[in-house]
Structure formats: structure tokens, C-alpha cells
Amino acid sequence: MHCHPQTKLRLALIPLAAAVVMAAGCSGGKSDDNAPPPVVAVQVATVAQGPMERWVRASAVLYPLHQAIITPKISAPVSRFYVNRGDHVHAGEELAQLESKDLTAAAQESAAQLETAQANYQTAMAGSIPADLQKAQLDVDAAKKALDNQQKIYDSRQQLFSQGAIPRRDLDQAGVDLTNAKNAYTEAEQHLQAMQAVGHTEALKAAQGDLDTAKAHAAGAAAQAGYATITSPIDGVVTDRPVYPGELATTSAPLMTVMDLSQIVARIPLPAEQAALLKVGDAATITAPGLDKPIPAKVTVVSAATDPNSTTIQVWVQAKNPNEQLRPGTSVQVAMLAQTLPRAVTIPASALLTDSSGDTSVMMVTPDSVAHQQNVEVGVKEPDTVQITKGLQPGQKVVSVGAYGLPDKTKIKVEAPAPADADKGQ
């Protein structure tokens, strides 16, 4: 079993510290005032001040940037597939063809009906005159002739009356007949005009209605026939194709799935207090199994609402995926940069001591190489570094390895860190 050098040294120092305590407290009832104080070997670090980054880390699952689950709009057997799983496709590219002979025939029939409706409409526009309209025209012609005859009678009688050949009553009767003839002619003309306006308009409306209905039927039939050709709505990769040629494709089951893998999205459910530290645009990294180094990413979504079931907030982190190394469904580790502290006072995480009550302290090293316990207050914690908000000043020394179990005011000896490869081969 391989152990980290710091772990080995810490394990070795614990018995040594205990031995120091026992030697001080249990001397068999005898004390030797001249005995030198025990010296414990430790590693020391300098309290630093400088920029410190605060990261929010969590596990996540990867999703594609875009996904199209393609379901046919008609149920029909698959005539042919043009793509297989793993093929890259473009938006609008044909993916499959369904059987559509019956739909094609229906579309052709609807197109013929449309042509007939268009011809009927053109005929109506040319002004076909129905039988009632012809009768009204004849009534006008007859009324005009009667009016002309009555006018001649009136003129003749007026001349005879002026010569004294007929009595006054005959002239008055002729005047009444002329007035009645004029009224009859006017009424016949108005009836004809009404027939021309209403009859022709109604004929045009009927023809227009038939044409619109034929257009709708033709468009619907053409659309149904067009549904037999399956195309891709997005650029991407065919990731699933559960149906085989000849099988029935239905409107209730997916025919294939296309995913856009040019970029990948990690969806992270975070507690509200952690999500509050993040905003859209924050830098992030994604660490996935099998990759040598983290992939740079960016926060693209911080949900405004809390999931009522999990009481978490959804955060999305997006990364480019040019070689399609990241695959949807993979569990990954995501780190999101929430804050940068420009002048943070920091110590190594290994130097921080936490007791059972939660109080934190460090073993500060005095100039005469004595370890003195110092209570501190902690801010941001990272795996390797801890921010100290109270209790230490930059430039002071603290025990970084060997502080656990070390008594206060113990004389120490500073040792250099072991080489990184000191335990190789053990």
C-alpha cells in the first residue's frame, strides 16, 4: 500500500508526540531538571497573502446541447433508411422514407380537384347569367316597349284634344296610362339591377368557396404525402434508431434520435446557498473519466426557481466538445469559480486543526522554534488552501505537517518535505 509522504510523517509523529507527553508526565516519581526538553520534527509553512479563488464543486450528469427525438406524423412501414447510428447529419437532411403510395395518389386527386375549382371560378368571374337574370332583362325590354307605345298614344290624344276632336277625359286617361307605364318600366329596371348585383355576387362567392375548399384539401394531401419523408431538424449525430426497414413506424414511438454534441451541458442540482454564489458567465471546469485534464467550461444557466421536490437549484455548465470526448449520460465532476479574493491570508489546509466543538486553530511557530497553539477564524476553504480571517498575519510560520496531537509549547525541529517520489517502489 502506498502512502503520501505527508501522511507517513503525520502517522510517525503522533506516537512521538504521545511519547513526549508521557515522558513529561510519567517519570517514575523522579524529575530531572537538567533533562533537555523533547524536540519534535515537523514541517513548517509561511502564512501567505495573495489572490485566492473560491470554487463550488459538485457531481453532475452530461446532456447534449440540443436533442431531437424524431417521431413520425403518420403511421406507415419504413421503406428505407438513409443513415445509421453514429452518422453525422445536417438540418434538413433526409433520414428515412416511409411507404406513401396511397398518400401520393390522394395528393394527385386533390390537385385535380383544385384545377376543376379554379376553372369554375374563372367561369364565374367571366359573368355567367342565370335564367332569372334573363327573365328580368326581358321584363325590362317589355316595359320599355309598353312605355314607348303609351307615350305615342298620349302625344296623339294631346294633338286631337288641341283640335277639339276628343273630350278632356280621354286625354287625362292617356296621361294616367303613361304614368303607369313609366312606373312599370322603372320597377323592371330596378329588379334587373338587383338581379345583376345579387345573382352575380352569390355566384362568385360560391365559386370562391369551392376554390378555397379545394386548395385546403390539396394542401392537406400534399402535407400528408410530405410526412413520409423524414428529415433532421438539427445538425448532430444519430444516437438511436430502434426501428428497422420494413417495420411499422408509428406516431406514438420515436423513429430515431439526433443529438447535437458540438457542445455538452452539465446539469447540477445545488443547494440554494451554493447556487447564490454563482452567476451566468462564471468560469468552470468539467472533469470526466478517461480525460487527462479538466475541460474549460462556463456557467450558462442559474435557475430562478427552486425544485420543490429536492429543494435544490438547477445550474447548467456548458463546454465545447469538438472531438466528442464528452458523452451524454456520463457522470462528471464540475468546479465553478464563484469568487476571487484579491488579498486573502492563507495557510495550507493540512495546518488547520479542528476540535470536537468545531473550534479551529493552528500551531504557530515562534522564532525560537517553539510550537504555540493559536486560535483562528476561517473563511473560504479549498482542498489544499484555507483562508484565515482572524488570528494570523502574513509572514508568520505555522506547522503544516505534524501539528495533530502536538502539545502546546513543544520544542520543534523543522524538517524539509520528503521528495515527491521518495516512496516509489515501496
CATH class belonging to 5-53+342-414: mainly beta
Average pLDDT over residues 298-326: 92
- Three-state DSSP at 78 gives strand
Q: Which residues contact 135 (CB under 8 A, 6 or more apart)?
A: none
Q: How far apart are CA 381 and CA 377, in angstroms?
A: 11
Architecture of domain 56-67+259-341: Beta Barrel (2.40)
Q: How far apart are CA 153 and CA 149, in angstroms?
A: 6
CA-to-CA dists, residue 364 to 18, 318, 345, 402, angstroms = 19, 43, 15, 12
Amino acid 10: pLDDT: 45
> 127: pLDDT confidence band, cut at 50, 70 and 90?
low
- Three-state DSSP at 201 gives helix
Cell for 201?
A: 355576387
Higher pLDDT, 13 or 299: 299
Residue corresponding to grid cell 398518400? 103
Cell for 421?
A: 517520489
Using N-to-C axis directions, what is the helix angle for 131-163 and 168-226, rounded to 10°?
A: 160
Amino acid 199: pLDDT: 58
Amino acid 22: pLDDT: 44
The pLDDT tens digits of the residues spanning 138-159 come to: 889 999 999 999 899 888 888 8
Average pLDDT over residues 396-411: 91
pTM: 0.60
Amino acid 159: pLDDT: 87
Share of the chain above pLDDT 70, in %: 85
Task: Give the total residue count for the chain.
Answer: 426
**Does position 12 have pLDDT exceeding 60, yes or no?**
no
- Fold classified for 72-99+228-249: OB fold (Dihydrolipoamide Acetyltransferase, E2P) (2.40.50)
Amino acid 361: pLDDT: 95
Amino acid 130: pLDDT: 59
Average pLDDT over residues 293-304: 95
Per-position DSSP letters for 369-399, written without gaps between them: SEEEEEE-EEEEE-SSEEEEEES--TT-EEE
Mean pLDDT of the residues in the chain: 85
**Does position 296 have pLDDT exceeding 80, yes or no?**
yes
- Three-state DSSP at 322 gives coil
